[in-house]
Structure 1
Amino acid sequence: MTLTAPPTTATHPLSRLSAEEITAARDVVVAAGLHKESSKFVYVGLEEPHKRDVLAWSPGQPVERRARVLLLDRATGQGRDVTVSLTAGSVVRDVEINGVADGQVPILDAEFEAIEPILAADERWVAAMAKRGLDVANVRAVPLSAGSYFPDEFGDRVVRVLGFHQADESDLPWAHPVDGVVAYVDITRGVTTAVHDHFDLPVPAERADLDQATHPHPVRDLKPIEITQPEGPSFTVDDDVVRWAGWEFRVGFDVREGLTLHQLSIDGRSVVYRASISEMVVPYADPSPVRFWQNYFDTGEYLFARYTNSLELGCDCLGEIHYFDATIADEDGAPRVLRNAICLHEEDYGVGWKHTDLFNGMVETRRSRRLVISFFTTIGNYDYGFYWYLYTDGTIQLESKATGIVFTSSYRGEEHPYATEIAPGLGAPFHQHLFSARLDMAVDGERNAVHEVDAVRVPVSDTNPYGNAFTRRSTPITRESEAARVADGTVGRVWHVLNPERTNRLGQPVGYALHPENLPLMLADESSSIHQRATFGTKSLWVTQYDPAERYAAGDFVNQHPGAAGLPAFVQADRPLSGPDGQGADVVLWHTFGLTHFPRPEDWPVMPTDYAGFTLKPVGFFDRNPALGVPRSTSSHCAHE
């Protein structure tokens, strides 16, 4: 059945889905008979057109609008992957998802909310709590993605559940893990399939209230800081297009990826076609029978951007702020507005460049400034902020901020060396936070080449008699089979993305360099399930040839997927990344970065923000320092002769 589509308000092929378009997508799915009384909408997002179509489009031309819709029939556990033409008002693609081979669609909030009643009806769970002197009504059940471990679960929608005691409404349950017990729940059938009571450990008693009585802490006497821009901000926003200090880009938002940046350029020259966080995984290190399975893909399993915070002036962002609301679909397919989901503002960033010269008396200083575009999301115990920074010197930076509450256990002593004691009897298991940034590069055009660049020692020789020489080695990456690379801080390894068809005034190819932070990659054993499911996290860099269907580093359906999806599958094609004469290709960089967290007592009861990220720096992209054009400071504290 075809519906008459409502007039679209989209002004660009990459315009974010509107509330009207989300409603239209739901109506098309229902009219096509794909939605049952027991069905839920798991995901609704813009199906972006192919890059060539976007780049060929001109204002005023028709905009083809499509939405991707994931459905779940809660009665059967069957998932569907549907593409809807909003322009034509029809379904153009409908695929049933094979729960064994393909994995499961992400977990619904409605499924999480059903867990406590299911467990309260299970005698084994009630008995395990009573054995510890706990009333099941005061135990918060925390359902977590199950991974892929036991053949008898394959094809079923399963979660694993840990318990946390909550004495009263204001008590923080994370302070009181009920360790030693884990429940397995089939969320389609609504039954507990197993309760494993492996060992009986004391439930930590100390509360996590942030007051002086519970956690004495010195008071810091700090005066207020006010950020003012009396002439207003230097940026402009027009129909989601931001312009600032020569930079221009389009803001996007997706319930799986969160904030996305599109068609990022400076001085009219393209740098990145699309930038996003395509996946993140949090693998835990505790091998105990209660917790060996703890590995969460917060994007692919939970759609972490649906938990985006509403940001508030003076708390999350300072200064002259522009907020973007985000519109997503709820589980009934109706539009839901996330107010103030994205924050845009400017920040002073210290000295940008400076010189006081001995010979000509020059005294010049220019301050650096950066444009910040960010969002924050809360997934259970952790809070994550993602901050994209654009600088006046042409630098691009991504910073992930991790804060919130560490996931806890009972502390079992030094004989169990996989956790830190962070409060009396309270443990925090070791874990990692690994992110995959998908960077669809377009450095001064769509045909780019990637080179791995290392610092190289030069041995003593006739040309280096004193041994002081060192140089650099640039190795082109020519095929996908050789493009899975590992960072090496000992040689200062970076990756240059060059455009062989464009040169600067010195005849050098223009480029940008990806600078990694050289932190640990996936630490789980190669034979482990999580290694197979999150293979992207085993390499610092992957490079692929552009394919619009290859959007997620761990594949489309991560929940309970057996493994080898995403990047390891993408590179099996071994597509060329450059031609025989060195010309470029349409390349996508996938960069793994993140934190390895050995929790400290200082991370309790709330974790100070920790940081991870990467930097893209221009290398020959400009003819000279692009921050020469930054004006002198007009502050009254800055004196000029």
Structure 2
Amino acid sequence: MTETMRPVAPPSSFGVTHPLDMVTAQEITAARRILVESGDLTETTRVPRILPVEPAKDLVLGHVDGADDFDRSLRVTLLETDSGAVREAVVSVTEGVVLDRRDVPTGTHPYGQPQYLFEEYERASEIVMADRRWQAAMARRGITDTSHSLVAPLAPGYFPHEGYAGHRMIRSLTFHRRYDGDNPWAHPVAGLIALVDLTAGEVVELTDEGEVPVPSGDWHYTPDHVGEPRTSLKPLEITQPEGPSFRVEGSLVRWENWTMRVGFNAQEGLVLNQISFRDGQEDRSVIYRASVPEMVVPYGDTDVTRYWISYFDAGEYLLGKNANSLKLGCDCLGVIHYFDAVVADDHGNPMPIPHAVCMHEEDYGILWKHTEVGEQPQVRRSRRLVLSYFATVGNYDYGFFWYFYLDGSIQMETKATGIVFVGAGEPGTENRHAPEIAPGILAPVHQHIFCARLDMAVDGLANSVEEEELVGIPIGPENPHGNAFTWRRTPLRSETARDADSEAGRRWYVTSTGRRNGVGKPTAYQLTPMAGPRLMAQPGSSAARRATFAQHHLWATPFDAAERFPAGEFPNQHAGDGLGTWVEAGRSIEDTDVVLWHTFGPTHIPRPEDWPVMPVDYSGFWLKPHGFLDSNPALDVPDWSQARHHGGDHQCSCGH
């Protein structure tokens, strides 16, 4: 690098040592200063989203430890609150300049709006509660003291017939909190919905169809209401007297044979980069980048207060920005390493999230075991590395857990909990779309459909994709006894969408172009779905057009840096974008840089046991080495029955 090309501020001056490090508070502060100085950010400008600009793969793969010669840039969404105009700016904090600007055409088809600001939730509530029609509707229900009422602002979906396409809108439902500390979700105000123009600052439409009484039951879940906790559970202690087995160097994590870099951003939350598995003396790449960048929560109720609901919790609300600060003993057990994260607030200032990501080890039962007659049994215990974060979006809480196993497997698991979204009905009401889960409280059927983005790199970036199915063989010359079956592998040659089939045991393989295993086959990783129903909304519906990714369990595309979010950049009030559009190009996915997009998640018919707070609902998938290695990589795991532990003389016993 010549002197004239030297960066104004090298990455290390912002606390960054690698191109894939998380965005720092110093970088966000610098980006804001640059935008203010350039006139792009004024008193009326708000910042719905700041994301890191992903560095080019060749730059990352060629990076040398200690080098300070790479650029760090942020992509900043700018919203003018007085006019509703939206721009995006790319800011190099390394060079200290705005590299690019573009207007976001929110006023023309297919429209779209930036993610919601935190301050807009409070503003929408104030606008609704000041509306005389809303006040009259509450009074008609006998509610005159609305000081504790909760006006829940919600993404409105896309319905152009309403005439507000291109406007920054939000819908608000009402829940009545009778007193400070009351559970508002237990008191839904049926049939009352406000459509708010956030730019104009007014309720443009108020619907009041409710004659149903507001439920008045006491439904609480906090200790001060539940009473004394049970005493039958005895303490369960998790200790690692010699410390954890993982090592952390900045964003780099090493655990047993696994190596990866931990990232985090405002939209996707936790991102895992450059995941590799050590085979002998070689770190072999498995995945270049893994995240869950989108999810949709479509509701299956025809009621006026719910038919339009299909929340995109990442693209409309920002999962990462809504991340929790995790607590030892509550969210995580054991010897914990936390990663702090920093996102931007509504004004573009750094907003730290301490302990955003938790990392620890867990015992996971038996790894492998065999007993040979007359010989001592051989058994090894499994252990996994856990990286997780939780985000709270309104009434729901979502946990995202990545598990790494000693045998080379990776599991992704989501945990949905929180409070189910409810409406009101006459007690004893039968509703085919919303079962009664408590007297007068109806909870509509809905889905939580997550989409994982897996930028694969199985032994390098040149990969292909195959689909495998089990095949039964009719009784005849090829199956004289009727017991035989086999399997069939089909190459997927161009980008496509596919669906799981449990009867066929359908799975997908990402294979290496240039590497063979010990039996001469391409090395591979296998995606094993734990798939539920696909999107239940009908073709042609607004939800189906906007959430095309949810219509199939698997999408396979070639890598494109611009294709990062499966529902597009701005799904809020957007007519539809993303995977369903991208695959129409028919690009090749043979011997190239391949991305798998896997959709999964629960379809929820609520039950009384989900009330007033819902036990965790699990969903996810597995990635397993399939011919990636030449033998079981966990043969050298210690036999703890022969090993001292806890720093004392006691030895574990397997009963022999």
For normalisation by structure 1, the TM-score amounts to: 0.96
Residue type at the aligned position of 2:592: A
CA drift at 1:500: 3.1
Mapped partners of 1:292, 1:397: distance in 2? 34
1:529 aligns with 2:539: no
Mapped partners of 1:104, 1:472: distance in 2? 47
Residues 189 and 392 of structure 1, relative CA distance in 2, 3 Å threshold = same
Describe how 1:200-599 pairs up with structure 2 within 5 A: 200-210=211-221, 219=230, 221-267=232-278, 268-358=283-373, 361-411=375-425, 414-480=429-495, 483-563=496-576, 565-578=577-590, 584-599=591-606
Describe how 1:83-232 pairs up with structure 2 within 5 A: 83-99=90-106, 100=108, 101-135=110-144, 136-151=146-161, 152-210=163-221, 219=230, 221-232=232-243
Mapped partners of 1:428, 1:87: distance in 2? 50
Residue pair 1:282, 1:296 contacting (<8 A) in 2 also:
yes
Mapped partners of 2:469, 2:571: distance in 1? 35
Residue pair 1:449, 1:587 contacting (<8 A) in 2 also:
yes
Residue type at the aligned position of 2:65: P
Residue type at the aligned position of 1:49: P
CA drift at 1:4: 5.0
Mapped partners of 1:364, 1:295: distance in 2? 51
Residue type at the aligned position of 1:27: R
Residue by residue over 1:22-61, the C-alpha shift from the partner in whole angstroms, topping out at 9 and shown as x without a partner, is: 1111111112211121101111121011212211222243
Residues 415 and 316 of structure 1, relative CA distance in 2, 3 Å threshold = closer
1:601 pairs with one of 608, 616, 635: 608
CA drift at 1:8: 3.8
2:21 pairs with one of 6, 10, 15: 15
CA drift at 1:446: 0.6
The secondary structure found in structure 1 opposite 2:113 is coil
The secondary structure found in structure 2 opposite 1:103 is strand
CA drift at 1:362: 4.4
CA drift at 1:478: 0.3
Residue pair 1:455, 1:470 contacting (<8 A) in 2 also:
yes
Residue type at the aligned position of 1:379: V
CA drift at 1:211: 6.6
Indicate the larger mover: 427-436 or 150-159: 150-159
Mapped partners of 1:241, 1:166: distance in 2? 46
Mapped partners of 2:285, 2:28: distance in 1? 31
Residue by residue over 1:569-624, the C-alpha shift from the partner in whole angstroms, topping out at 9 and shown as x without a partner, is: 2212211111xxxxx21000000010100011000111011101100011001111
Name the counterpart of 1:581. none
Gaps of 5+ in 1: 579-583
Describe how 1:62-73 pairs up with structure 2 within 5 A: 62-73=69-80
Residue type at the aligned position of 1:316: D
Gaps of 5+ in 2: 1-6, 646-650
Residue pair 1:308, 1:376 contacting (<8 A) in 2 also:
yes
Mapped partners of 1:212, 1:426: distance in 2? 23
Residue by residue over 1:118-144, the C-alpha shift from the partner in whole angstroms, topping out at 9 and shown as x without a partner, is: 112211111111110112333210010
CA drift at 1:213: 10
Residue type at the aligned position of 2:129: A
Mapped partners of 1:10, 1:115: distance in 2? 38
Mapped partners of 1:600, 1:221: distance in 2? 27
Name the counterpart of 2:630. 623
Residue pair 2:453, 2:598 contacting (<8 A) in 1 also:
yes
CA drift at 1:303: 0.7
Residues 556 and 13 of structure 1, relative CA distance in 2, 3 Å threshold = same
Residue type at the aligned position of 1:25: A
2:81 pairs with one of 37, 50, 74: 74
Mapped partners of 1:212, 1:347: distance in 2? 28
Aligned CA-pair RMSD: 1.7
Residue pair 1:207, 1:214 contacting (<8 A) in 2 also:
no
Residue-pair matches, total: 630
Mapped partners of 2:375, 2:474: distance in 1? 41
Residue type at the aligned position of 1:604: W
Residue by residue over 1:378-408, the C-alpha shift from the partner in whole angstroms, topping out at 9 and shown as x without a partner, is: 1111111100000000000010001111111
Residue pair 1:11, 1:63 contacting (<8 A) in 2 also:
no
Residue by residue over 1:308-338, the C-alpha shift from the partner in whole angstroms, topping out at 9 and shown as x without a partner, is: 1111111111111001111111111111211
Mapped partners of 2:592, 2:463: distance in 1? 5
Residue by residue over 1:121-169, the C-alpha shift from the partner in whole angstroms, topping out at 9 and shown as x without a partner, is: 2111111111101123332100100111034111100011100000111
Residue by residue over 1:431-481, the C-alpha shift from the partner in whole angstroms, topping out at 9 and shown as x without a partner, is: 00000000000011111111010011011111311111100010100001x
Name the counterpart of 2:54. 48
Residue by residue over 1:400-429, the C-alpha shift from the partner in whole angstroms, topping out at 9 and shown as x without a partner, is: 001111111113555531112111111111
CA drift at 1:19: 1.0
Mapped partners of 1:246, 1:290: distance in 2? 51
CA drift at 1:349: 0.2
Mapped partners of 1:573, 1:58: distance in 2? 36
Residues 486 and 639 of structure 1, relative CA distance in 2, 3 Å threshold = closer
Mapped partners of 2:525, 2:550: distance in 1? 23
The secondary structure found in structure 1 opposite 2:498 is coil
Indicate the larger mover: 370-379 or 219-228: 219-228
Mapped partners of 1:166, 1:348: distance in 2? 43
Mapped partners of 2:224, 2:412: distance in 1? 39
Mapped partners of 1:328, 1:214: distance in 2? 35
Name the counterpart of 2:648. none
Mapped partners of 1:138, 1:368: distance in 2? 50
Residue type at the aligned position of 1:573: A
Residues 200 and 626 of structure 1, relative CA distance in 2, 3 Å threshold = same
Mapped partners of 2:222, 2:464: distance in 1? 56
Mapped partners of 1:138, 1:246: distance in 2? 54
Mapped partners of 2:66, 2:261: distance in 1? 18
The secondary structure found in structure 2 opposite 1:568 is helix
Residue by residue over 1:47-92, the C-alpha shift from the partner in whole angstroms, topping out at 9 and shown as x without a partner, is: 0112122112222431111111011111111111111112211111
Residue pair 1:5, 1:24 contacting (<8 A) in 2 also:
no
The secondary structure found in structure 2 opposite 1:98 is coil
Indicate the larger mover: 266-275 or 43-52: 43-52
The secondary structure found in structure 2 opposite 1:537 is helix
Residue pair 1:355, 1:362 contacting (<8 A) in 2 also:
no
Mapped partners of 2:425, 2:485: distance in 1? 50
Residue by residue over 1:518-565, the C-alpha shift from the partner in whole angstroms, topping out at 9 and shown as x without a partner, is: 2111000111101000010000000110011110000001110011x1
For normalisation by structure 2, the TM-score amounts to: 0.94
